[in-house]
Amino acid sequence: MIEKLLDQSALKNGHQISFILNHRVLAKSGLDWTEVKGDVLTIDEWEDLKELCLQGNEKVQLETKGYIVGILETPKYKWKFSFTEKKDCFRAHLSLIKAKEEVQSHIENPLFWEAIKKDHGIFIVGGERRQGKTSLMQEIVSSEQKSKLRLVGVHSAVRSSDWDQLESAVQLGTETIDFDATHPLYEGVERVVVDLNSVKNWKKWIEMAEQGQSVLLSLSINSVRTVFNKFVSDLDVNTNMRLFNVLNGVVVQKLVGSQYYPCSEILVIKQNQKDLLRQHLTSNSYFKLNFMDEFKDSYQSLNQSLVQKLIRRKIDVQSAFEAADDPDSLDQMLKKMGL
C-alpha cells in the first residue's frame, strides 16, 4: 500500500511526502501541501513504511539513535528519506530525486552555448534564490568538459557532490574568495566558477577575464535589466567600461509550474554590441535600453521562453502568466499565435 501511495503521489507531481504517526499523510506539489490519504497513519502502516525503506542495519540505527537518512529505490522512482523515532515523535519525510535529464535547463539557444564556451570573458548566471542556478552552472561546465577538458576552480558556499564528480573541477572554498587574481591558487585554472549569489570584487574577476581566463558568476537577480541596473549603481564608469569589454552574456533562470520547469531570459553580447552598451553608459541612457530592439538577434525574453514551453506542453497557461514579467505582452504574443 505504501509503495502504491508513493507512486501515485509522484504521478500527481508530488515531490515531497510527509508521514507522521496518527496524522494524515501529506504530499507537496509546487508550494502546496495536500492530503494523499484520507485516514491517519496507523502504527501498522508506519511499520510497513519502515519495512519498505530500511535495511536491517538501518532499522537498528533508527532504534538506537532515533534518526536515519538514506535512499529508497522503487521500480519507478528514487526517493531520499529521513526517519525520526523518539518518544512521541514518529515522523518520516521522503523527497523525490529527479533524474538528471529532468533538472537540466533545456536551453536550445545556439548563441548561448557558443558564448558560454568562449575561452575567456565573463558570463553571468542569474535568478532568485532556489531557482536552479547551481544546477545550471554545473550543466554548463559538464557540457563543456565533453568537448574540451580544462581545469575548473569552484568557489561555492555549499560543497556539492556534483561539483566533485565533474572531471578536472577543484573546490577552492569561500575563505579564498578575496585572494588576488594573480594568486598561485589560480595557477593553471582556465575557468573560475563563483557560485555565491553575489559579487563583492568585480575588478578581480574583470582582471582574470582580461588575462584570458573564463569566469562564471552567479547573482541573485530576477531579470537581465536588473543586472545592468546593478552595474550602473555599484560600479564606476571606468570599471563598467572594462566589464563590457569582457562580458559575454547573461542568463536569468526561473523555475515555473508545479514541476519547476526551467525557463530562461538570455542576453548574448556580440563584439559589435559592446560599443552600444558603452554609448548608453557614457550618455547615461540606460533607462532607454531596449533589449528586444537593440539586441534582437541575441536576446531571448522570458516571455519567449514561456511561449516555447507552452507550445511543448511543459507548463500550463496559468503557470506561464504567474511567471511572466510582463503578462500583457505574453497575452498579446499568445493571441497572435492563436493560442
Residue 200 pLDDT greater than 80, yes or no: yes
Using 50, 70 and 90 to split pLDDT, how confident is the model at 261? Answer: confident
Q: What is the pLDDT of residue 158?
A: 66
pLDDT value at residue 102: 52
Of the pLDDT bands very low, low, confident and very high (cuts 50, 70, 90), residue 254 is very high
Per-residue confidence (pLDDT) for residue 132, from 0 to 100: 85
Alpha carbons 286 and 294: distance in angstroms, whole number: 12
**Which pLDDT value is given to residue 336?**
86
pLDDT per residue over 210-251, tens digit each?
999 999 999 999 999 999 989 988 999 999 999 999 999 999
Matching CATH number, 2-96, of 3.90.550.10, 3.30.450.90, 3.90.25.10, 1.10.760.10: 3.30.450.90
Tell me how far apart the alpha carbons of residues 292 and 275 are, in angstroms, rounded to a whole number.
Answer: 17
pLDDT of residue 160: 56
pLDDT at residue 204 greater than cutoff 90: yes
> Which pTM was predicted?
0.74
**For residue 228, which of 240, 210, 218 has the smallest C-alpha distance?**
240
What residue ranges do the domains of the chain occupy? 2-96, 101-300
Buried b (16+ CB within 10 A) or exposed e, 303-328: bbbbbbbbeeebbeeebbeebbbeee
pLDDT computed for residue 199 by the predictor: 93
Q: What is the pLDDT of residues 32-54, one digit of tens each?
A: 788 887 789 999 999 999 999 99
Q: Are strands 169-171 and 152-156 parallel, antiparallel or unpaired?
A: parallel
Q: What is the pLDDT of residues 282-334, one digit of tens each?
A: 887 777 788 888 888 899 999 999 999 999 888 889 989 999 989 999 999 99
Could you tell me which of 205, 276, 191, 215 has the C-alpha nearest to residue 242?
Answer: 205
CATH superfamily of 101-300: P-loop containing nucleotide triphosphate hydrolases (3.40.50.300)
- What's the per-residue H, E or C state across 35-85? EEEEEEECHHHHHHHHHHHCCHHHHHHHHHHCEEEEEEECCCCEEEEEEEE
Share of the chain above pLDDT 90, in %: 48
- Residue 161: the pLDDT is 55
- Return the C-alpha cell found at 315: 507548463
Residue 328 C-alpha cell reads as 500583457
| 231 vs 257, higher pLDDT | 231
- Is the Cα dihedral 133, 106, 143, 181 positive or negative? negative
